[in-house]
Amino acid sequence: MHTVYDFHALQFNDEKKSLQDYSGKVLLIVNTASQCYFTKQFKNLEKLYQRYKDQGLEILAFPSNDFRGQEPMTGHRLETFCRIQQQVTFPVFRRIHVIGEYCDPLYSFLSDIKQNGKVNKKPLWNFHKYLVNKNGEVVDFFYSTTNPTAQRVMTKIEQLLAE
């Protein structure tokens, strides 16, 4: 069975980042967009990150333009939006496809039970969240409508951090 550690992500400087670098951490992987109703979740994702990062949580953001063109930015403009306007300090990667014919291999894995063994849910919209344990296994997901600082999200993260 594969884990998220078998994949990589493209950073804004065009370097490949192996997800193996996050081995031993709890991951919350989120597809984001700058012009979405849920864009305000960046603030709570950052709060969540600040609360748990020293305990081993990593949030990985993957901008995507797959839902009604709500992420028109790419490259430096997109990075600036995330870092300066939204003030996020967690890793944000280059824009990818999270559904459809050109779906990034990581998102194919995250959303397909045949590949990940547990979760069978493609993102229905921006800010869909996948929760990954310290072994790189997909263990849960949260819909876009679930606030990152909702008690059930934090409880699940705390359980995984304690394992």
Position with higher pLDDT, 82 vs 131: 131
Cβ atoms of residues 98 and 60 within 8 Å: no
Q: Are 70 and 34 in contact (CB under 8 A)?
A: yes
Tokens of 116: 């990940």
49-69 pLDDT tens trace: 999 999 999 999 999 999 999
Domain 4-162: give its CATH code: 3.40.30.10
The answer to whether 31 and 123 are in contact (CB under 8 A) is yes
Instruction: Kindly list the catalytic residues.
Output: 36
Using one digit for the tens of pLDDT, what is the confidence trace for 24-50?
999 999 999 999 999 999 999 999 999
DSSP state of 82: I
d(Cα 99, Cα 134) in Å, to the nearest integer? 25
Which helix H or strand E contains 32, and what residues bound it?
strand 26-32
pLDDT in tens, 88-126: 999 999 999 999 999 999 999 999 999 999 999 999 999
The number of angstroms, rounded, from the C-alpha of 56 to the middle of its chain's C-alpha atoms is 15
Contact present, 136 and 4 (Cβ < 8 Å): yes
